[in-house]
Amino acid sequence: MPIYTAPLEDMMFLFEKLRNNKNYNELEKYKEVTSDLVKDILEEAAKINQNLILPLAKAGDENPAILENGVVRTPPGYKEAYKKYIEDGWTSLSCDPKYGGQGMPKTVSAFFDEMLSSASLSFKLYSELSIGAYNCINHHASDELKNKYLPKIVEGKWSGTMCLTEPVCGTDLGLLKTKAEKQNDGTYKISGQKIFITSGDHDLTENIIHLVIARATDSPAGTKGISLFLVPKFIVNEDGSIGTRNGISTGSIESKMGIKGSATCVLNFDEAKGYMIGKKDKGLNAMFTMMNLERIVVGIQGLGISEIAYQNSLAYAKERKQGKTNKTKSTNGADFIIEHADIRRSLLNMKSIIEGERALCFWLSQQTEVSLNHKDEKVRLEAADFVSLMTPVVKSLFTDLGMEITNDAIQIHGGYGYTKDQGIEQLYRDNRITPIYEGTNSVQAADLVFRKLFNKNGDIINKYIDLIRSETDLDNEKIKPFTKEFTYYLNILTKFSEWINEKTNTDKDDVSAGANDYLKTLGFVSIAYAWIKVLDVSFKDYNENKNFYDNKINTAKFYFDKVLPRAEQHYKSAISGSSNIMSFKFN
Ligand SMILES: Cc1cc2nc3c(=O)[nH]c(=O)nc-3n(C[C@H](O)[C@H](O)[C@H](O)COP(=O)(O)OP(=O)(O)OC[C@H]3O[C@@H](n4cnc5c(N)ncnc54)[C@H](O)[C@@H]3O)c2cc1C
C-alpha cells in the first residue's frame, strides 16, 4: 500500500505567507479564520486521511462497488469510514453555517480536497458531488428547496449527484433526450436514461439528491431548451422525513480501469418526480455553477494524486540500490537510485510542478472567495473573470501533469511500479479519469481560447498578463534572475495570446489545433508566477527557516530551468498552424 503524509508544512506556509491578497484580506467573513484554527483543522484532516481513508484506496480497487439485487454496495470499510467522516463534520467544511456548515473558505477546503484525493479518490467522490449539488442548490434553488434539502446534504446524511451524460450525449449536451413533463402541482415527471453517474446509487446515505438536466416537453431542441431538476431517490415529506421511493432505478454499474471503489451508475428515470431549479430552459447556466467549481476540484484531484505518487517515488528511490553513479564512492555493491541524475531529474520535475501547482491553486482559491464575497461589485467581477480564465487551465494542466507524474512514478519503481503490490500503478489508473470527466481536457482548451480570453467585460487575458507582470516586478536583487526568465516567458505568452486573437478572426482551425498548446503555455507561465510569489517570501524571510526556504529556492530553480521552457515549445508547435493537420488524409 502506498505511504502518505499530508504536506502540512507546505500548506501552512501558503496559508501564513501567501495570504497577501489585499482583496481577500478585506473579506469580513473570514476575519476569524486564523492560522491557529487552520492548523488545527489541517492536523485533524491529516489524521483522518492518513489513518482511516488511505487504506480504503486498495480495498476499493480490489473489491469494487457492486450492484446486488438492485442495491449498490460500496467496498468493505467504506460505510464505517463514511460514518466517522460525517460525524467529524468533513462534508460541512466549506458550507454556509445557515445550513449547518462550518463556513471555511476555499483556501482551507482546497487543502482538504487535496489530502482526500491523495488518500482515496474513489472514497472522495461519494461526498464531492454532494458539495457540488450543495453549491448549485444554494445558488439557484428556491428557499423552500434550500431549507428542505441543504441541511441534510451539509450533514452528509444525504448525498448528491450530477446527472448530465446520456448514451448519445457526452460533451454535446444539446443532444439530450431525457424528458420533463409538467404536472398540475408544478412538479415534473422526469423520464430517460443517464449514464456514467458518479455515486448514482450507494449504501452510504439515507437519500440521494440527483441534479438532472432534462428537456421540458414544450422546450426547443439544443442547449437552449435544457432545464435543471432536483430529483430525490426518496421523496421527502413535508416534515422533512423520508417518504416513498421515487421512479429511479440503477440499470448497472460500470466496470472501469480505475476509481473502482466509486460506483459509476446507469440510472433509469421512469416518471420520477422532479422539482425545477432556477428558470425554465436556463438549466445549463445553473449546472455550470456546479461544474465550474467542480472543475477546479478535479484539477486538485490531479494535484493530490501527484503528491502521493511523488512521496512514494522519493521513498522508493532512497531505499532501492541499483547500478553505480558517475561519482560513486561505493567500492562494491550499488548506489541508491536517488543518486542517479535521471531519477533526481524525474523527482524534481514532480516536486517543482506539485509545489508550484499548490501555490497557484492557493492564489485561485483566494480569487474565488473574492469573486463570491467581496463587497465591491467591480472587485468581485474582476476576480470572477480571473477564476473563469484559470478554471480550464487548472482542470486540464493539473490532471494532464498528474498523468505524467503517475507515469514517472511507475518508471521510478521499475517492475515494482508496473506490478500491483506497491499500489503505484493504481495511482495512474485512478488519475486517468480526471482528464476526461467534468468536460474533457480538449474541450477545456477550446473553452479557454474561444470563450475565456475575451468576454463581455473585455480583454481578460491582457488584464491577467498585466496583473502578473506588475506583481512580479520586484525590487529584490536575489529574485532578479528568476523575474528576468519569467519576463521572457511572459512575453511569449503575450505573443501567443495575440496570435490566438488574430487567428480567431482569420482561421478558427488554427486556434482549435493550438488550443491545447495555448492552455499549457498559460499554465506553465502561471505556475511560474506562483513560484515567484513563493520566492519573494523565501528570500525575504530566509533567516526564519533556512532549510525550508533553501529547499523552495532550489526547487524553483529547477522549475525555471527545466520545466518552464516547455511554455516556448508549445508556442512554437501551435504557430505552425493547422493546414498540415486538416489536409491530412487518414486512410
Ligand atoms: C468514471 C466516470 C464518471 C463520470 N461521472 C459523471 C457524472 O457524475 N455525471 C455525468 O453527467 N457524467 C459523468 N461522466 C461522463 C463524463 O463527463 C463524459 O464521459 C465526458 O464528458 C466525455 O463525454 P463522452 O464520454 O461522451 O465523450 P465524447 O463527448 O463522445 O468525446 C469523445 C472525444 O471527442 C472529443 N470531443 C468531443 N467534442 C469535441 C469538440 N467540440 N471539440 C474537440 N473535441 C471534442 C472529446 O474531447 C473526446 O476526446 C463520467 C464518466 C466516467 C467515465
Structural domain range at position 36: 8-143
Q: Along the 587 residues of the chain, how does pLDDT read in single tens digits?
A: 999 999 999 999 999 999 988 899 999 999 999 999 999 999 999 999 999 999 999 999 999 999 999 999 999 999 999 999 999 999 999 999 999 999 999 999 999 999 999 999 999 999 999 999 999 999 999 999 999 999 999 999 999 999 999 999 999 999 999 999 999 999 999 999 999 999 999 999 999 999 999 999 999 999 999 999 999 999 999 999 999 999 999 999 999 999 999 999 999 999 999 999 999 999 998 888 778 889 999 999 999 999 999 999 999 999 999 999 888 877 778 999 999 999 999 999 999 999 999 999 999 999 999 999 999 999 999 999 999 999 999 999 999 999 999 999 999 999 999 999 899 999 999 999 999 999 999 999 999 999 999 988 889 999 999 999 999 999 889 999 999 999 999 999 999 999 999 999 999 999 999 999 999 999 999 999 999 999 999 999 999 999 999 999 999 999 999 999 999 999 999 999 999 999 999 99
Residue 171 in contact with ligand 1 by CB distance below 6 A: yes
Q: Which residues contact 474 (CB under 8 A, 6 or more apart)?
A: 483, 532, 536
Residue 512 lies in a domain: yes
**Rounded distance from Cα 501 to ligand 1 centre (Å):** 27
Substitution site in 131, 290, 395, 443 for ligand 1 pocket (most atoms within 8 Å of beta carbon):
443
Domain boundary among 259, 281, 303: 281
- The residue whose CA is least distant from atom 14 of ligand 1 is 196
Domain-located, residue 246: yes
CB 373 within 8 A of CB 429: no
Do 20 and 92 lie in one domain? The reply is yes
Boundary of a domain, candidates 281, 310, 343? 281
515 Cα–ligand 1 center, Å: 18
Let me know if residue 133 belongs to a domain.
yes
Amino acid making up residue 108: V
pLDDT at position 291, please? 81
Whose C-alpha lies nearest to ligand 1, atom 42? 443
Ligand 1 centroid–CA 438 distance in Å is: 7
Which of 171, 516, 581 should be mutated for ligand 1, with most atoms under 8 A from CB? 171
216 and 109 together in one domain: no
Say yes or no: CB of residue 433 within 6 Å of ligand 1: yes
499 lines ligand 1 (CB under 6 A): no
- Going from the C-alpha of 69 to that of each of 73, 249, 250, 383, 479, the distances in angstroms are 10, 11, 10, 49, 64
In this structure, are residues 162 and 286 in contact, taking their beta carbons and an 8 Å threshold? Answer: no
Report the CATH number at residue 239. 2.40.110.20
The values of phi and psi at residue 319, to 5°, are: -115, -15
Contact by Cβ (8 Å): 428, 460: no
Q: Is 3 in the pocket of ligand 1 (CB under 6 A)?
A: no
From the CA of 163, give the closest atom in ligand 1.
11
The predicted structure's pLDDT at residue 327? 83
Q: For residue 361, what pLDDT is reported?
A: 98
Would you say the CB of residue 442 lies under 6 angstroms from ligand 1?
yes
Counting DSSP H helices and E strands in the chain, the numbers are 20, 13
Rounded Cα distance between 499 and 316, Å, is 45
Residue 220 inside a domain? The answer is yes
At residue 258, the pLDDT reads: 98
pLDDT for position 239: 94
d(CA 219, CA 548): 59
Domain annotation covers residue 90: yes
Q: Whose CA is nearest to atom 53 of ligand 1?
A: 196
What is the distance in A from the centroid of ligand 1 to the CA of 435?
Answer: 10
Could you tell me if the CB of 264 is within 6 A of ligand 1?
yes
Residues 38 and 120 occupy one common structural domain: yes
CB 164 less than 6 A from any atom of ligand 1? yes
Kindly report the protein residue whose alpha carbon is nearest to atom 30 of ligand 1.
Answer: 170
Q: What are phi and psi of 235, to 5 degrees?
A: -60, 140
Q: What is the pLDDT of residue 532?
A: 98
Residue 323 located in a structural domain? no
Q: Give residue for cell 454499474.
A: 253
Distance between CA atoms of residues 121 and 300, nearest Å: 11
How many domains, in total, are found in the chain?
3
Please give the distance, rounded to the nearest whole angstrom, from the Cα atom of residue 170 to the centre of ligand 1.
Answer: 5
Is 112 in the same domain as 177? no
161 CA distance to ligand 1 middle (Å): 16
Rounded Cα distance between 102 and 92, Å, is: 6
- Together in a domain, 192 and 112: no
192/68 same-domain check: no
Cβ-contact 305, 288 below 8 angstroms: no
User: Which atom belonging to ligand 1 lies closest to the Cα atom of 437?
Assistant: 17
142 CB under 6 A from ligand 1? no
Residue with the smallest CA separation from ligand 1 atom 37 is 171
Active site residues per annotation: 438
- Is the Cβ atom of 170 under 6 angstroms away from ligand 1? yes
Residues 531, 352: Cα–Cα separation, whole Å: 9
Q: Tell whether ligand 1 has an atom less than 6 A from the beta carbon of residue 491.
A: no
Ligand 1: centre distance to CA 440 (Å): 6
Q: Looking at the domain assignment, is residue 63 inside a domain?
A: yes
Does the residue 185 lie in any domain? yes
